[in-house]
Amino acid sequence: MPGTARISLLVGAAAASMAWFSAAADPLPPSATYRPLPTLPLSAVKANDEAEKPQVMRDQQSVLDQRYDLSNNPIPGVMMSGGRKPVQGGVRVKLPAGATWDTLAGMSPDEVRQRGLLPPGFTPLPHVKQATGGQVIPNSQIDEIRTQEGRNLRRFDVDFDLPDTFTPEFPPPIFLSGHPELGDVSRGRLLTIKNYYEMMVGFITPVQMEGLRLLLTPFPQEEFNQTEDRKVEDQSLGITCLDCHSNFHTNAAFHQTPDVRPQAARFRLDTVSLRGLFNQQIHGSKRSLRSVEDFSEFEQRTAYFNGDHMSAQRKGVNLPERHDQTAMLAQMQNAIDFPPAPKLDPAGRLDPSKANERELAGERVFLGKGRCAECHIPALSFLDNNMHDLKLERFYEVGHTVNGLVQLPDGPIKTFTLRGIKDSPPYLHDGRLLTLADCVEFFNLVLSLKLTADEKDSLVAYMLAL
């Protein structure tokens, strides 16, 4: 860099002139931060949305086909905790032509980036319709809510995109931390506002019951409301917390992060399970809210309105009372346990008398070469209550657009628990990984682990035991 060594700076003058530039600069357009009001009547928007929908779904399907092997290939003999759905196996992210997982793992991040070899399935997964965004609910949930409540959650502009084989079992089991001896108390049913009382009276406290009622009460939201700015046919009663967190778990419904603008930069969010929430100290993949009370209150006020308090005010915000309703919302959520893991001891380690050799080998990799336990600490419910930046952008050139999503660095993201992990595909905060084997290959590359095939298989076997 010839010349730079001779530089002596007049920093004061330069800084002053830059301040002057900034003061004179035109700011970015307001709709880069704020949600604009619709420009067309609902009838026109709906007609256009419905006409576009087949193309929208074809575009997303081609993204999925490019990224993944979507075939139905379950792991023999491995079911989710309720025994209602098999767990899918194998690496489903497709490799670029000519590459193998081992050749990729042998390259430096720079080489992978410069040669454009990061598998597309490892990059951020777009929302099915990025420009519109919002919550998208799987058909199983939509149908059951229609049957039980007569409430309509079906959007006229988009459908859920992932095959049913890569979503959690439905309805998911419910485990109460106050009654481990009872096991699953769901009776194979989905909790709704119509059945919650008769299902849960005698099982939970009055405070928890009131929290449950609130968690199942529909309130207006960005796409489900009574204004012309909605994506359901009729004037919607709204949406409930457990419409995505079915039975306090997840049905893989997705939306977009409320924490990023402009719209094209907002990454997809896969619904997280609420199991074991009692041990989680930070909430929201990027917001790091410090209590479930804060989170529950904030979701009601703004986040289900995409982090936009102004839109919430316009469409009918619910403002739960902090010392009464918010506390009850929190106490109900904190009463939900993980599924049983009979091979784990009280500190989250495998019991050698119950685990098989492959699982024990997987635990050794987890604690050692695999570096998994640096964040997923067994004794802390496989959490560390921190956020971490995996710096995936070392492996690909940022700024490219995939089906409307600008692929940008994820930045710090909350550590998610691995307890009961086989029950909650897809994986990562945006659901970009479909199987546990995908997760192993992802972290093998991102953390430069150079795991052997045996070590990878052992890790998957270990995670299935969690």
Partner 1 sequence: MRALALTPIFALMAAASATAQTGTGNPAAMSPGAAQSAPGMPAPHQANENDRLFVKAVTTGGNAEVLLGQLAEQKGRAQAVKDFGHQMAADHGKANQQLAQLAKAANLPEPSDLDEEHKAMRSQLEQSSGADFDLAYIRGQVADHQKTAQLFEWEIGSGQDPQLKAFASEVLPVVLRHLQMASNIESQLSTTASTPSPPAQRR
Binding site for partner 1 (CB under 8 A): 1-22, 24-26, 28-29, 31-32, 36, 38-40, 44-45, 47-49, 51-52, 55-56, 59, 62, 126, 129-132, 229, 262-265, 397-406
Q: Exposed, middle or buried by CB within 10 Å (0-12, 13-18, 19+), for 40?
A: exposed
Question: At its nearest, how many Å lie between partner 1 and the CB of residue 231?
Answer: 9
Q: Are 271 and 245 in contact (CB under 8 A)?
A: yes
Q: Exposed, middle or buried by CB within 10 Å (0-12, 13-18, 19+), for 291?
A: middle
DSSP 198-255: HHHTTTS-HHHHHHHHHHTS-B--SSSSSSSS-SBSS----B-GGGTSGGGS----EE
Nearer to partner 1, 21 or 342 (CB): 21
Its sign, for the CA torsion 132, 133, 135, 138, is positive
3 state SS of 283: strand
| Beta bridge mates, 336 | 176
Say how far apart CA 176 and CA 332 lie, in whole Å: 10
Question: At its nearest, how many Å lie between partner 1 and the CB of residue 70?
Answer: 19
Question: At its nearest, how many Å lie between partner 1 and the CB of residue 398?
Answer: 6
385: phi then psi, degrees, rounded to nearest 5: 50, 45
Nearer to partner 1, 405 or 466 (CB): 405
Nearer to partner 1, 36 or 342 (CB): 36
3 state SS of 427: strand
288: phi then psi, degrees, rounded to nearest 5: 55, 45
Crossing angle of the two packed helices 436-446 and 453-464, in degrees rounded to 10: 130
Q: Are 146 and 42 in contact (CB under 8 A)?
A: no
Q: Are 60 and 161 in contact (CB under 8 A)?
A: yes
Nearer to partner 1, 189 or 400 (CB): 400
Nearer to partner 1, 291 or 403 (CB): 403
Nearer to partner 1, 5 or 453 (CB): 5
**Which residues, 6 or more positions from 360, have their beta carbon under 8 angstroms from its beta carbon?**
350, 352, 462
Question: At its nearest, how many Å lie between partner 1 and the CB of residue 157?
Answer: 8
Nearer to partner 1, 52 or 149 (CB): 52
| Beta bridge mates, 93 | 68
Question: At its nearest, how many Å lie between partner 1 and the CB of residue 30?
Answer: 10
Nearer to partner 1, 90 or 409 (CB): 409
